[in-house]
């Protein structure tokens, strides 16, 4: 639930205004502003629009700019896609990451298997091998990447991972912009 009173108070303070100054700008009483900031009363839409105008914003920006985005993600937020035929799974670690600038995933790749080939696209890729060893196929080039090592490249060539080892490999992979 949106705490309108607290948001108004924080914006008023950020602008260096007192309750009296905000009340004068909106032709409301200081008591009304005080009660509003403590959520003891609710403004009409027209009154809220007047207050926001006095605070140098509007309804859309007031609610959009103050929206809290999730910072910590738990196992409940993870979405897993199993590709049993391909011998790998992808776990999206951040819910709705496709809306962000980067997309972190966890790739689990079985022995002898490979990820889908990713066509060239705008952006960059980063990976860190948590366990096992993989071969990064980047265009015509191949790079062996072991546990504890990382890779980073521009996504301008076809790329994919292959696990030629005998053990399962786990890779933290981050793409920007999101492409998985």
Q: Would residue 91 count as lying in a domain?
A: yes
Residues 79 and 156 in one domain: yes
Strand partners, 131: 170
Do 61 and 16 have their domain in common?
Answer: yes
Give domain status of residue 70, yes or no. Answer: no
Q: Band of the pLDDT at 50, cuts 50, 70, 90?
A: very high
pLDDT of residue 98: 61
Same domain, 28 and 48: yes
Is the same domain home to 58 and 89? Answer: no
pTM of the model: 0.62
Q: How many domains does the chain have?
A: 2
pLDDT at res. 77: 83
The parent domain of residue 152 ranges over: 75-176
CA triplet 105, 108, 109: central angle to 5 degrees?
130
- Separation between Cα atoms, residue 164 and residue 48, nearest integer Å: 63
What is the rounded average pLDDT of the residues 129-147? 98
Residue 171: exposed, middle, or buried by beta-carbon count in 10 A (0-12, 13-18, 19+)? buried
On whether residue 128 sits in a domain, the answer given is: yes
My answer on whether 106 and 172 are in the same domain is yes
- Reported as a single tens digit per residue, the pLDDT across 51-87 is 999 999 888 888 875 445 678 888 888 888 898 888 9
| Judgement on whether residues 115 and 153 belong to the same structural domain of the protein | yes
- Do 121 and 169 fall within a single domain? yes
- The enclosing H or E element of 146 equals strand 141-146
Q: Are residues 22 and 56 in the same domain?
A: yes
What number is the average pLDDT over the span 130-148?
Answer: 98
Mean pLDDT of the 7-33 span: 92
- Residues in CB range of 125: below 8 A, 6 or more apart: 151, 152, 153, 154, 155, 159, 173, 174, 175, 176
H helices present in the chain, as ranges: 4-14, 19-26, 30-37, 45-54, 59-65
CATH of the domain at 79: 2.60.120.10
Residues 111, 91 share a domain? yes
Q: Examine residue 112 and state whether it is found in any structural domain, yes or no.
A: yes
């Amino acid at each position: 639930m949106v705490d309108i009173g607290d948001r108004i108070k924080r914006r008023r303070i950020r602008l260096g205004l007192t309750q009296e100054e905000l009340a004068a700008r909106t032709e409301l009483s200081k008591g009304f502003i005080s009660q509003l900031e403590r959520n003891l009363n609710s403004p009409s839409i027209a009154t809220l629009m007047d207050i926001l105008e006095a605070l140098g914003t509007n309804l859309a920006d007031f609610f959009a700019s103050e929206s809290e985005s999730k910072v910590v993600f738990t196992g409940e937020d993870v979405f897993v896609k199993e590709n049993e035929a391909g011998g790998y799974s992808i776990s999206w670690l951040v819910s709705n990451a496709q809306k962000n600038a980067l997309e972190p995933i966890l790739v689990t790749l079985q022995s002898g298997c490979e990820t889908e080939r990713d066509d060239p696209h705008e952006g960059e890729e980063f990976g860190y091998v948590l366990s096992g060893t993989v071969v990064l196929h980047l265009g015509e080039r191949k790079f062996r990447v072991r546990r504890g090592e990382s890779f980073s490249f521009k996504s301008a060539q076809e790329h994919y991972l292959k696990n030629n080892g005998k053990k399962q490999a786990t890779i933290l992979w981050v793409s920007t912009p999101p492409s998985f």
